[in-house]
Structure 1
């Protein structure tokens, strides 16, 4: 029997019986993949999901942590951004492999493998992570609307609730329409910061040294706090659920060869997209270090302050305008993908059968209601301070998504011939251990001083 005709018989029966609803059933396997043609043409069919995932790595929460890190510690936290990005590349490749091989997203896999109480607990934790993430995205978008158009913060938050209508509109045009919008917005963010980098004129030698880790990353509590916030903002837990689902929108062959090809192309897609996210995150921190830290303004930690101070420091209003435009594109991108992730998590863990528009509306409200309450109670000052805290919360949720992912992809009963190799298992468990240890250390330093 030819390789293309061989089914992955090593998979356990519990992944095919009983038959259950596909992840994002209305979009599952909706996009064709050419069976013939060049490798590049086939790869292009898989381009898209990686950018939806990468969006979460450049959301307003990242902006808050990168601005604070650059202002306080100069270029030295570039090493953390690089390490976080490398972790993200590994974990996202595992997430896409899980979805392609098993036909289940991470939420469905967790529901099938764990008891109901454990599964419900993981769902609640993931919803908290999505709410924390969306808090940052909604507030970031609202701040951008205020900076660009003078719209009050609360009204800006309410306007972002309409994002769900945009998703519904785009879905009727196919999943490629969503991916195209996301890619355009990502390129807009990249272009804005490329210009801001040129205007800020950072020191190349300092940038290079910043990618080398220093010992005070562990001994300096404030630096560690920002570092773990960067980690939480970069390796986002709900993005692992998202990626394991949206890779299944492609009509790859349900054979060993077809799945192997899909895994390879999906890994290329996410790695390229995450490299672009690395550039944008590094650019935000570098601009902050080259302007605020250099000028001795080490207390700048808020997006609004950064916007207002860029013009006098750089010498042109163009820098501030591009900064706000990129922030708005970032917030809109992130809320769009966050809503999709919320739907995937709710469907996967709870197996709720609701109309697509109602599922998206529910998941959107779960996230946006806390943002409205916080905005009303805390005001602009309080909401911006909560941006960094929201990223630390994300980091604290990471182990509850990362550990099941590493466990599932390392289990031959689940993955068959696609099970992680020995070196990948060692690397993946090492990354998981680093995440857990850093979080425990942060908790200890926070409460024990």
Structure 2
């Protein structure tokens, strides 16, 4: 017991109750070398990767419906909401990376150390619900894409998505860098598809850029506000905070204050640049919806299927719908790969319980697939749409329980030592946390009682 309460010499402070647990994702922990010599750019390249795994969660199928609805109903007006929510995500992910690098703990392990067992178990259950809900959205998104592209019935598409467990097992065996490369390649496919969609849709450039300036009508118009809150709620994913605080530790940075400070800098650059790709993709979905649907009078497009079927006749080319479907399939597949890593991190961190990655993946997949199969079999497309909305509500419910501990820990001098957030970051971080808590509470209230 005395050893359990001792402070590790690798930790920056005496603010933790026990030594750091064994690292999460032990098969990848400190597995990637950082060059000792060479330019700063070369060292930065060695850190590139984790940010893109995190960015995947900000462009998953759960975001598509809110972006489509915002663009089709209100044109370019809500682009400012996408920008603001992305800036919030950049701040929170930088804090998650800092926590992992500075303390050697991921967010789940930090919560287990700080809170009592009942609270930790409660946070674990909420985190598992969020991961299952996110996985559910990705299962449905991938199934819809298979249905639209190849005519595979939704029920069979949902079942087929379970096979992606083979992909992640293969990539994990090859090495973590292969997994990162595969995910970056899928992000590039999504970005390419929507780059072409933007060209085909020919948006009004002036109106598009004005859309990034906040419009007071967003607050005064209740219908705009509701979709704006939906965009914010669907953008900042709670499980990504657990994920990022762990996977930044896959690099072999020096365990010295200077080495950690350099690692925090490069990890922040990595996640910031990656999240700008997510900003581009989310903004592109809304811009295409505004340029194609809003301007043609189709202001009620919110379903992914409706958007797919309308793109071809409105743009006059079948390639528009095909690219949309390919991007959706890549988005769904990408997000499921990172979901299993987050699940492993959360279970190991909160419970200090190890499980084979293939078994963990199978359990997470079954939790998502079983309700998707039941609802698809009973209610068809309408049921899957409702299930997609429900998954986003569950994510919103869990978000505050991940953000508040993250900001609290990184603002603690005892826990972070010299890496504690400066006062100005603490003020901004707590303000962002307050905004997220209030907006998600309003979203939940509107969903159930509005």
Normalised by the shorter chain, which TM-score bucket?
A: over 0.9
Equivalent runs, 1:91-130 vs 2, <5 Å: 91-130=92-131
Q: Distance in 2 between matches of 1:48 and 1:9?
A: 25
Equivalent runs, 1:148-159 vs 2, <5 Å: 148-159=149-160
Deviation at 1:53, TM superposition (A): 0.4
Equivalent pair of 2:101/2:249 in contact (CA under 8 Å): yes
Structure 1 residues 173 and 120: alpha-carbon distance in aligned structure 2, compared to 1, 3 A threshold: same
Match of 1:31 in 2: 32
Match of 1:11 in 2: 13
Match of 1:4 in 2: none
Please list every run of 5 or more consecutive structure 2 residues that lacks an aligned counterpart in the other structure.
Answer: 1-8
Equivalent runs, 1:60-75 vs 2, <5 Å: 60-75=61-76
Match of 1:382 in 2: 383
Structure 1 residues 388 and 220: alpha-carbon distance in aligned structure 2, compared to 1, 3 A threshold: farther
Structure 1 residues 160 and 209: alpha-carbon distance in aligned structure 2, compared to 1, 3 A threshold: same
Q: Distance in 2 between matches of 1:32 and 1:245?
A: 16
Q: Distance in 1 between matches of 2:444 and 2:234?
A: 17
SS at match of 1:254: coil
Equivalent pair of 1:135/1:367 in contact (CA under 8 Å): yes
Equivalent pair of 2:340/2:360 in contact (CA under 8 Å): no
Equivalent pair of 2:11/2:102 in contact (CA under 8 Å): no
Equivalent pair of 1:56/1:334 in contact (CA under 8 Å): yes
TM-score by length of 2: 0.95
Match of 1:134 in 2: 135
SS at match of 1:398: helix
Deviation at 1:447, TM superposition (A): 5.5
Is 1:361 matched with 2:348? no
TM-score by length of 1: 0.95
What RMSD in Å do the two structures reach over aligned CA positions? 1.6
Q: Distance in 1 between matches of 2:396 and 2:259?
A: 35
Deviations along 1:367-394, whole A, 9 cap, x unmatched? Answer: 3323222322331122124323422332
Equivalent pair of 2:21/2:352 in contact (CA under 8 Å): no
Is 1:398 matched with 2:395? no
Deviations along 1:90-142, whole A, 9 cap, x unmatched? Answer: 00000000011111111111111001111111111111211221111111101
Equivalent runs, 1:70-89 vs 2, <5 Å: 70-89=71-90
Match of 1:228 in 2: 229
Match of 2:246 in 1: 245
Equivalent pair of 2:142/2:157 in contact (CA under 8 Å): yes
Deviation at 1:357, TM superposition (A): 2.1
Number of positions where the alignment pairs a residue of Structure 1 with one of Structure 2: 442
Please list every run of 5 or more consecutive structure 1 residues that lacks an aligned counterpart in the other structure.
Answer: 1-6
Q: Distance in 2 between matches of 1:325 and 1:294?
A: 24
